[in-house]
Amino acid sequence: MLKLLKNLKNSWASVLIIVILLCIQAAADLALPDYTSKIVNVGIQYGGIEKAAPEVILEEEMENLLIFTENDEQILSSYDLITNSPTHEQEKTINKFLGEDYNLEENEVYVLKDLGEEELNNLVGLIAEPLVEYNAVTNEETANQIKQQMIQNMPEEQQISIANWSVLDLLKQMPEEQREMLLEQFTSYISQMTDSVKEQAAISAVRELYADMGIDTDKLQNDYILMSGLQMLGIALISMISAVSIMLLSSRVAAKLGKTLRDKVFKKVLSFSTAELREFSTASLITRSTNDVQQIQQLIAMLFRVVVYAPIIGIGGFIKVLTTSDNSMAWIIGVAIFAILVVVATLFAVAIPKFRKLQDLIDKLNQVSREILTGLPVIRAFNTEKKEEKRFDESNTLLMKANVFVNRAMSMMMPLLMFIMSSITVLIVWVGAHNVDAGTMQVGDMMAFIQYTMQIVMAFLMISMISIMLPRASVSANRINEVIETEPSIKDKEETKTFNPEKKGLVEFKNVSFRYPDADTEILEDINFTAEPGKTTALIGSTGSGKSTVVNLIPRFYDVTGGELLVDGVNVKDVPQKALRDIIGFVPQRGILFSGTIESNIKYADDSMSDEQMVKAAQIAQAEEFIEGKPEKYKDPIAQGGANVSGGQKQRLSIARAIAKAPEIFIFDDSFSALDFKTDSKLREALAEKTENKTVIIVAQRISTILNADKIIVLEEGKIVGQGTHEELMQNNETYRQIALSQLSEDELNNNEKGGK
C-alpha cells in the first residue's frame, strides 16, 4: 500500500494544503463546544458576566465591599481609580458599562486593570467571598435579619434613632471584632461553599452590583450572547469551508492517483510479452485497472481525514475534557472507546476474510462473462445457453453472497455505534445532572463534555471505518503492485545495435529452440532456416507442430531460449523492440480490428498516411470491392473487434493494414484461412508484385496457398522435418506428401505443379 502512496508525489502541494486545512478544521471543531459552554454558562446563566470580579465599580461601592475583607491593598492594586482623563481603554470600559454620558467628576469609579490569567484568578480568589457577603447583607430579607440581631439588645431610644440606618451604615459604625462576630454565621456558610459554587455566587453578586449601579444588565447579556453566537457562526463557517475544500482537494488527489495508477498498469501491460499476458488473465487485468484502482481511490479520498483529522480531534478533545471542563467524567470516554473497539474488532474478525475473497470473485465473474460473450456464436450453435447461464449464475451467486455477507456485517456496525453514542449521551446527562445538582458542574460544561465526547467517539469511528476499507484496499494495492512490479521477460538491452543495411530483410534461424516459461520440454528444437528478401518462405505442418510459435519469435513476442534469431544480420535481442517491429508487417492468425472506421484501421501504422497508399493497400488485399459497397466507403464505421464485418473481410482488412505499412518483412500467420480460393489466388498474385523485394513468411494450413513458395518449411512436433520447394518435398518428404494428398488429389497437385511451372 505504501508503495502506491509514493505516486502522490505529483500532488504534494494539494496534500500539503489538505493537511493545513484539516488542522484548521480540527481547531475550529474543537473550539465550538467551548463556545456552547460559554453561551449557556456565561450568556444565559451568568447574564453575560464573564469574571467573578466587577470590571467597573463606584468608589462608594468599593468602600462598602472592602468592609468584608482584610485584603484591601491586594484588591485595590488590581484596579485603577479614575477621577478624570481616563485612557482610551479605560474610557471604552466606562462607556460600555456606565454609558458615554457618565460624569466622573460627580462620582469616581474603579476600573479593572488589564490582568493576566494568573493575576485575574488571584483577584477572583480574594474578592469572591467579600462579593457574596456584600450581596447577602444588601439583600432585603438578609439585611432585616442582620439588623434585628444588631439592635435587639440596644435600648429602645437607640433603636428608634437608628431605625432608618442601613445595615452597611450600622456595620461601619461597629467595632471590627463585634462586626466579625455578627457576620460569622454568614461567612462560615460561604466559606464552606465549593470554589465552583462560590464563583457562581460571586458572579451573581457582580450582576446585582451592576444593577444597583444603574448598568443595563439585560443589554450586557444580549450583547454577550450575540457576540458569542456570531463568533460561533464564524468558526462554524471556517470549519465548513475547510471541510468542503478538503473534500474537493481529496477527491482531486484521489482521482489523479487513480489516473496515474491506471496509466502505469496500462503502460506496463503494453510492455508485457506474451509470457506475462499468459500469467495474468485478460479479465484479471481489466479488474485490476478498474475495480482495484477504484478501491484505492475511495480509500485515498478518506485517508487524509483519518490520518490527520481523527488524531487531532481525538487527542485534542481528550485534552480539552481534562483541561477545560470537569474531568471527573473522563471515565465515560474510556467506556465509549472500549465499546467501539469491541464492536469493530468483532466485525473485523467476521468480515475481513470475505473482503479478501471479493476481488478474486470479481475476477472470476469477469472471466466467465468475457468467455460467454466472446463465444456466443458457438454457444448458440450447440444450444448450450442453459449450461452457460448456470455457469454465470454460479459465479454471480458466489459474488452476491460474499457482498451480501460483507454488507450485512457492515450495515450492523453503524446502528451499533449509534446505539453506543446515544447510550453514552444518556450516561453523560445522568452523571452530569447529579454533578450539576451537587454544584460541582455547570450545565454548559456538561453540554460541552457531550460534544467533546462525541468528537472523540467520531474520531475512533472514522478510524474504524478506514480500518474496514483498508484490508480490501490493501488487497487491491497488492494486485496492482503485482502488475506494476512484474518485469517483462523481453526487454531492450542498455546498449543496442543497428541493423546491417547489406542484409536488409534477411531472417535467419540458427539452431533455435524455445520452451515456454516453467515448461519441462522444448516446444521448438534445432530450427535452422533462412528467409531471404524477394522470396516467399512458407511454414506448414500439422496442428500443434509449432508454426505460429516460430513466426512469433521474429517480432520477439517470445524470446528464443536457445540458438540465435537474426534479422538484417543482427540478433533480435540486440536491437530495440520498436525498431525491430517497425520493419515487420505482422498479420496474426485471428484478424483483429479496432473500433473506428475502415480508414483508421488500414492507416493504423501511420495516421498521416496518404489516401492513395491506403486505397492501394486495400486493392492488393482484395478488400476494395466490399469497401466500395459500404454506405460511407472508407469512412464506414468498424465496431469493437470488427463485429460488423465477416471473417474474410476482417482478414483482408488486417492484410491491408500490414501492406499499407510497407515493411521490409511480411509475416502472414495463417491469414488466408477465411478467404475463398479465388480471392486467395488473386490476393497472392497482387501481393507478389507488391512484395517483389520484400521478405515474405507465410504460415498456412492449405497447400494451395503455398504451392508457389520459394521455400517450404515442414514442421512436425517442433522440429523441421523437411524444407524445399513444393516439387522437391513431394518427391522427398513423406510428411509433406501426406499433408498435400489429404487436401488435393494427385491430378490437382500435378496440374498445379504444371501451372506453377
> Which grid cell is 389?
447461464
Structure confidence at residue 439 (pLDDT): 67
Q: How far apart are CA 284 and CA 367, in angstroms?
A: 7
CB atoms within 10 A of CB 538: 25
Structure confidence at residue 157 (pLDDT): 62
Sign of CA dihedral 715, 718, 720, 721: negative
Coil, strand or helix at 567: strand
- Cβ-in-10-Å burial (0-12, 13-18, 19+) of 39 comes to buried
Q: What percent of the chain has pLDDT over 70?
A: 88
Q: How far apart are CA 343 and CA 360, in angstroms?
A: 27
pLDDT at 659 over 80: yes
pLDDT at 386 over 80: yes
Element (H, E) at 670: none
Q: What is the DSSP code string of 572-633?
A: GGGS-HHHHHHTEEEE-SS----SEEHHHHHTTT-TT--HHHHHHHHHHTT-HHHHHTSTTG
CATH topology of domain 497-583+693-757: Rossmann fold (3.40.50)
Structure confidence at residue 234 (pLDDT): 93
Q: How far apart are CA 306 and CA 312, in angstroms?
A: 9
Residue 550 DSSP class: H
Residue 213 DSSP class: T
Chain CA centroid to CA 4, Å: 12
pLDDT at 697 over 80: yes
pLDDT at 756 over 60: no
Band (pLDDT 50/70/90 cuts) for residue 444 is confident
Pick from 204, 198, 229, 230: nearest CA to 217: 204
Band (pLDDT 50/70/90 cuts) for residue 757 is very low
Residue 116 DSSP class: -
Mean pLDDT of the 552-577 span? 89
Band (pLDDT 50/70/90 cuts) for residue 164 is low
Beta bridge partners of 536: 696
Mean pLDDT of the 646-661 span? 86
Contact 78, 118 (CB under 8 A): no
Q: How far apart are CA 602 and CA 615, in angstroms?
A: 9
Mean pLDDT of the 202-222 span? 86
SS (H, E, C) 408-444: HHHHHHHHHHHHHHHHHHHHHHHHHHHHHHHCCCCHH
pLDDT, tens digit, 9 for 90 and up, residues 216-265: 888 888 988 999 899 999 999 999 999 899 889 888 888 888 888 888 88
Structure confidence at residue 172 (pLDDT): 63
SS (H, E, C) 688-736: HHHCCCCEEEEECCCHHHHCCCCEEEEEECCEEEEEECHHHHHHHCHHH
Mean pLDDT of the 612-631 span? 86
> Which grid cell is 628?
466500395
pLDDT at 163 over 60: no
Sign of CA dihedral 641, 642, 648, 649: negative
Structure confidence at residue 235 (pLDDT): 92
pLDDT at 275 over 50: yes
Structure confidence at residue 236 (pLDDT): 92
Structure confidence at residue 755 (pLDDT): 46
pLDDT, tens digit, 9 for 90 and up, residues 280-323: 777 778 888 888 888 888 888 888 777 778 888 888 877 877 77
Least confident residue range of 18-27, 511-520, 573-582 = 511-520
Least confident residue range of 107-116, 260-269, 283-292, 435-444 = 435-444
Contact 353, 475 (CB under 8 A): no
Q: How far apart are CA 586 and CA 503, in angstroms?
A: 20
CB atoms within 10 A of CB 550: 28
Least confident residue range of 187-191, 493-497, 741-745 = 187-191
pLDDT at 470 over 90: no
pLDDT at 74 over 50: yes
Across the chain, mean pLDDT equals 81
Structure confidence at residue 230 (pLDDT): 93
Pick from 664, 667, 665, 638: nearest CA to 655: 667
pLDDT, tens digit, 9 for 90 and up, residues 668-696: 887 777 677 777 778 778 877 777 788 88
pLDDT, tens digit, 9 for 90 and up, residues 504-523: 889 999 999 988 877 778 88
Q: Do 2-10+248-485 and 497-583+693-757 come out as alike in CATH topology?
A: no
Element (H, E) at 172: helix 167-173
Residue 462 DSSP class: H
Band (pLDDT 50/70/90 cuts) for residue 60 is confident
Structure confidence at residue 754 (pLDDT): 47
Domain boundaries, the chain: 2-10+248-485, 36-225, 497-583+693-757
Band (pLDDT 50/70/90 cuts) for residue 737 is confident
Q: How far apart are CA 557 and CA 272, in angstroms?
A: 9
> Which grid cell is 678?
479465388
Higher pLDDT, 75 or 647: 75
Contact 321, 453 (CB under 8 A): yes
The superfamily CATH assigns to domain 2-10+248-485 is: ABC transporter type 1, transmembrane domain (1.20.1560.10)
Least confident residue range of 22-36, 322-336, 706-720 = 322-336
Structure confidence at residue 160 (pLDDT): 61
pLDDT at 159 over 60: no
